[in-house]
Amino acid sequence: MISIWFFIGISLSVNGALILAAGIYQLVNPPVNPGVQLFYLHANVWWGVVLLVIGALYCVKFAPRQQSKRGCLFPKGVYACRRK
């Protein structure tokens, strides 16, 4: 069974990638009127990177194939995996 954490990883990765792409687009084509405060910090770029990295880590760590290899399927979950 696919771990819930894998679904979380998918969600974070896809959202991170989309936010990062939007941030890079705005970085390359800065809008005349950004419409948000602190635009110069480009929060969508670094926040997108943060989500993408965390999401990718979750996807790799809890990928269905890896879980099966280790015989560590949900619901045994995180604890059981770590002990193995």
Binding site for other proteins (CB under 8 A): 1-2, 4, 7-8, 10-12, 14-15, 18-23, 26, 34-39, 41, 43-44, 47-48, 51, 75-79
| Identity of the residue, 69 or 75, whose beta carbon is nearer to other proteins in the bound complex | 75
The residue type found at 62 is F
Q: Which two tokens stand for residue 10?
A: 């998918």
Contact between 17 and 50 under an 8 Å Cβ cutoff? The reply is no
Q: Which is nearer to other proteins, 26 or 66 (CB)?
A: 26
Q: Between 69 and 82, name the residue whose CB sits nearer to other proteins.
A: 82
Rounded to 10 deg, the angle between the 4-28 and 43-61 helix axes is: 150
